[in-house]
Structure 1
Amino acid sequence: MTAIDRAARAPQAEQGLLVDAAGVRQIYQKGDNADLVVLDDVSLSIREGEVVGLLGRSGSGKSTLLRIICGLVKPTSGRVEWRGKPVTGPSEGLSMVFQSFALFPWLTVLENVEVGLEAIGVPAAERRRRSLEAIDLIGLDGFESAYPKELSGGMRQRVGFARALVVHPRLLLMDEPFSALDVLTAETLRTDLIELWIEGRLPIKSILMVTHNIEEAVLMCDRILIFSSNPGRVAAEIKINLPHPRSRVDPVFRAIVDDIYARMTQRVPVDTGARKEESGAPGIGMALPHISTNLLSGLMEALAAAPYGGKADLPDLAATLQMEVDELFPIVETLQLLRFAELEEGDVRLTDAGRRFVDSEQDARKRLFAEHLIAHVPLAGLIRRVLDERPSHRAPFTRFSEELEDHMSEDFAEETLRGLITWGRYGELFGYDEHTRQFNLENPA
């Protein structure tokens, strides 16, 4: 049994059930009979005494699920219970910390913290006592009379934590609370929070947090639910049985991080809002990200250079480039789509074509990129073929967007074509006139 197996299989003590959700589905109407499925058949439970992380990329529905659990959003279907009772609206015993600081600028630190207690009718003396305790607990003693504009980003977020904790919630919900902070400030606040949790000094029973930072999730959580995207589904659950404080250089920690990267880079078909009964012409309806060719070439160059020599561990590469999951994965997956790189168990490796690209001069790079675009992205071949066949060598944007909308939502069609315009221009396959909204062959040879 490997180290990660031992960590994943460690038993958890039975605790009181706080949240029980089953079959949660969230759909938004997009018009033109196309629905946006944000969450699909999501089930989870949260018990007392645990820190649970929802980990995934943007668009995986993590924040939506958090709002469903706290009663701010009603799911399209499914069941959500808080302490055994159906959630029908905002529930007592939950507090949330948001990514943005969301402080009232005209109130002092103390007054911002008191707001929640005042809203639920706590007497003034008790309100003041509890607020001062929360401010002291979160490390802001001495700043009670300061206004938000006088505070750094990290201190403002500490006020947000104090305001959430002062009502003594059973469950603290955190929606990417560290992502708006610089690296050092985020690390300090993260460490302080987990120390308070381990020492039993926080007036809460459990924490449910949303993040797209893999190492952050492994540093803090007892369980991690990995979400796939478009629509959001629970793709995997990993239990973490490492003592606190956790070290990033611990071999078991690194093994868990590597395992999560490998799971998150497994290719899963994207649900683009297609009307399934009309989704013919395989390949044309492939959703494409809008990724700059500068990012694609830059990542290939970084992979080819020392110390990687063409192959890199994704967590190590992300740390070196100071990139988050949401930033790195779409670039790597686009290189895989174009056959310039391959993903292997959490590693990314340049293909022979990727190495040739890096070693080539600018014009040769463009030709190679165009060849791979035609060979591996059917929509690019369709656009070039239509332009070649028309006497005017022109075609309106709607010629292709309307065809794509047989396979995906209007928004996905727009993003796909916008990304392809960038790639087509770089490879000199075709041009595009934004004023007339027409593809053309004026620039390509």
Structure 2
Amino acid sequence: MPELNAKSHTLLCELKDINHCFVLPNGNPVTVLKDINLSIYREEIVALLGPSGCGKSTLLRILAGLIRPTTGHVFCHGIPLKGVNPGASIVFQNFALYPWMTVLENVEIVLKAKRHPRNEIKRLADNSIRLVGLAGYEEAYPRELSGGMKQRVGIARALVAEPEILCMDEPFSQVDALTAETLRAEILDIWSRVGKKLTTIFMVSHDIKEVVNMVDRIVIMGSNPGSIRGILKNTLPRPRDSRTQEFLNLVDRIHHIIASAIIPDEEILIPPLKLPAGVLLEPLPDVSINEIIGLLEVLNAHQGEEDIFRLAIEIHKEFGHLINIAKAAELLDFIDTPKQKILLTELGKRFIESDTEVKKRLWKDQLYNLNTYKHILEMLKRDPEGRIERDHVEEEFVVHLPQEDPAKMFKIFISWARYGELFAYSEDTGYITLE
């Protein structure tokens, strides 16, 4: 999808041909960002929106200069960025405050690091604290503050350096809904003030309504690897009312784009890997059994069908994580996911309406259908003592699933197997055995 009517303001930053890889503990590289090209202009708010694990936070840190991309370049005012972006400040998701410092000291630390004159540090810090409504709390420690107040300190610390661009990594996700609503309004008020240096906000979010409420351009990302699927211009006039039909229409449009990108209705054919033993193992989504069962319970209560985004709001799950839960349930044939819908299959309905013993038997039966479990079970049966070391299983994951973290895969693998009583695992001996 092409970018629609990009703002005509002065170009501030550019991300050109950005690719980024991480190295897993097993030594295998995994591409987290691929072919990213994005322009950031003055006097706009831009948001990255997409599923968990698509590289949103990594891309924000690349723009801020905290991470150097594997390939590609960041430009600020047309000049290649070397090191930390001097015009950017970050508000982190988890507050990132120094617990041994007071509110004032947490804000002053930025100016001290920049070697500001001592007589200016106190004045600028006081102004920033007052700007976010924390006057009177200068001598308080983080442990004395609520989540919302801690985030205000984080915002004050980011603003005290008078940045051109304010980078925010899911800044409202750790506070309650009412506090988040207040903070959004205050950020917009600070951004819109005349005469301030701050001109641009670049934020990461998973909340579609939050994005529609705040931003001018919405960058929709896909995953595996992280890439830009499309850029939408938000032309709704400010202040925005989330109850209007225009607002709801844009929310629905974004829902549709994301659903099409993450859980496409048409099957995407991927050439199988040529594996040493001719085995194609399935990566297991990193979700708990309780989350899978909980999803089936909710679907059953909804007569077996629900829109995935309405469901995310109802059960208070970030939609990217809900999609992972849905993928796990679909892997076990308990649900189907046509378009934006999640449908409970007959097997899923039978599973959720059964008692515990029948649930375990049905779960075990579905594990037998997965190559990952078939492969390990065959190894167990071939072993004279009927046991396999954990290290041996993780080595199999390294060989057959080179882009997965083998330790994490093993943890999920064991959890699912234990619920179905497929085999036993002893932490003390490090062995898997047939049960």
Equivalence for 1:380: 373
Distance 1:394 1:142, change over 3 A: closer
Contact 2:10–2:41 under 8 Å retained in 1: yes
CA distance in 2: counterparts of 1:235 and 1:30, whole angstroms: 26
Equivalence for 1:319: 313
Equivalence for 1:185: 179
CA distance in 1: counterparts of 2:56 and 2:263, whole angstroms: 19
Q: Select which of 286, 291, 295 maps to 2:287.
A: 291
- Normalised TM-score (structure 2): 0.87
CA distance in 2: counterparts of 1:22 and 1:276, whole angstroms: 31
CA distance in 1: counterparts of 2:400 and 2:381, whole angstroms: 24
- Using the aligned pairs only, state the percent identity: 39
Pairing of 1:123-202 with structure 2 (within 5 A) = 123-124=117-118, 126-198=120-192, 200=194
CA distance in 2: counterparts of 1:311 and 1:44, whole angstroms: 38
Deviates more, 1:142-151 or 1:335-344: 142-151
Equivalence for 2:337: 343
Distance 1:390 1:241, change over 3 A: same
Q: Select which of 42, 62, 66 maps to 1:72.
A: 66
Deviates more, 1:91-100 or 1:113-122: 113-122
Following TM superposition, by how much is the alpha carbon of 1:413 offset from its aligned partner in structure 2, in angstroms?
A: 2.6
Following TM superposition, by how much is the alpha carbon of 1:149 offset from its aligned partner in structure 2, in angstroms?
A: 3.8
Contact 1:60–1:227 under 8 Å retained in 2: yes
Pairing of 1:210-289 with structure 2 (within 5 A) = 210-250=204-244, 251-263=248-260, 265-266=262-263, 281=278, 283-284=280-281, 286-289=282-285
Q: How many residues align?
A: 429
Partner of 2:85, secondary structure, is: coil
CA distance in 1: counterparts of 2:380 and 2:96, whole angstroms: 51
Q: Select which of 12, 18, 22 maps to 2:16.
A: 22
Unaligned regions of 5+ residues in structure 1, if any? none
Partner of 1:405, secondary structure, is: helix
> Please, what is the CA RMSD of the aligned residues?
3.1
Provide Cα deviations, 1:266-288, integer angstroms capped at 9, x if missing partner.
2698x9xxx9675773532x211
Following TM superposition, by how much is the alpha carbon of 1:122 offset from its aligned partner in structure 2, in angstroms?
A: 4.2
Q: Select which of 88, 92, 97 maps to 2:91.
A: 97
Contact 2:220–2:258 under 8 Å retained in 1: no
The answer to whether the aligner puts 1:431 opposite 2:427 as a matched pair is no
Provide Cα deviations, 1:11-49, integer angstroms capped at 9, x if missing partner.
343111111112212223446652233322222111112
Which residue identity lines up with residue 96 of structure 2 in the other structure?
A
CA distance in 2: counterparts of 1:152 and 1:46, whole angstroms: 33
Pairing of 1:353-372 with structure 2 (within 5 A) = 353-372=347-366
Unaligned regions of 5+ residues in structure 2, if any? none
Distance 1:359 1:10, change over 3 A: same
CA distance in 1: counterparts of 2:141 and 2:363, whole angstroms: 54
Equivalence for 1:304: 300
Deviates more, 1:173-182 or 1:255-264: 255-264
The answer to whether the aligner puts 1:60 opposite 2:57 as a matched pair is no
Partner of 2:294, secondary structure, is: helix
Provide Cα deviations, 1:39-92, integer angstroms capped at 9, x if missing partner.
222221111121111223443222222222222222221111111000111232
CA distance in 2: counterparts of 1:24 and 1:34, whole angstroms: 20
Equivalence for 2:323: 329
